[in-house]
């Protein structure tokens, strides 16, 4: 359900970020090790996004004739839920892959609920 994302590699990157933050002052991370620190954060960010998308979009079917309307509803619901910010904090502040996956499941429920609800209303 996490698509092509290697969850073990993701956890390893989060653990690396955690070790860096625990053992190296932030000023040193952002200056002396700035490039590699930024690359690590970018990789975690892109993998977090990939995980969320893979979980949310798994087996999601939207009728083409209603797609634009559904996408607007979905994007609004995602934004209003605040879950994306929580997932980012779980990755970057807590380095917790399980929590990222939990937030992905919550987003999935929201998105799939919108699609199922709109199918009932259309039918």
Taking only the tens place, the pLDDT of each residue in 51-98 is 999 999 999 999 899 899 999 999 999 999 999 999 999 999 999 999
Task: Using a pLDDT cut of 70, give the percent of the chain over it.
Answer: 93
The pLDDT, as a whole number, for residue 29 is: 96
Is residue 123 over pLDDT 60? no
- Tell me which residue of 45, 101, 52 sits closest to 74, measured CA to CA: 52
- Tell me which residue of 118, 121, 119, 113 sits closest to 56, measured CA to CA: 113
Confidence bin at 3 (pLDDT 50/70/90): low
Q: pTM of the entire structure?
A: 0.87
Burial class (CB in 10 A: 0-12, 13-18, 19+), 10: buried
Q: Average pLDDT, whole number, for the chain?
A: 92
**C-alpha gyration radius of the chain:** 17
- Tell me which residue of 56, 20, 64, 59 sits closest to 38, measured CA to CA: 20
The C-alpha atoms of residue 43 and residue 29 are separated, in whole angstroms, by: 16
Residue 7's CB is within 10 A of a number of other CB atoms, namely 15
The pLDDT, as a whole number, for residue 118 is: 73
């Amino acid at each position: 359900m996490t698509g092509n994302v290697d969850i073990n590699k993701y956890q390893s990157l989060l653990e690396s970020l955690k070790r860096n933050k625990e053992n190296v002052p932030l000023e040193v991370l952002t200056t002396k090790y700035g490039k590699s620190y930024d690359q690590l954060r970018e990789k975690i960010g892109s993998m977090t996004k990939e995980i969320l998308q893979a979980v949310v979009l798994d087996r999601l079917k939207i009728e083409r004739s209603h797609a634009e309307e559904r996408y607007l509803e979905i994007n609004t619901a995602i934004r209003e839920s605040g879950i994306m910010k929580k997932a980012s904090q779980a990755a970057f502040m807590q380095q917790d892959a399980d929590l990222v996956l939990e937030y992905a499941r919550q987003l999935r429920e929201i998105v799939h609920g919108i699609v199922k609800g709109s199918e009932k209303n259309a039918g």
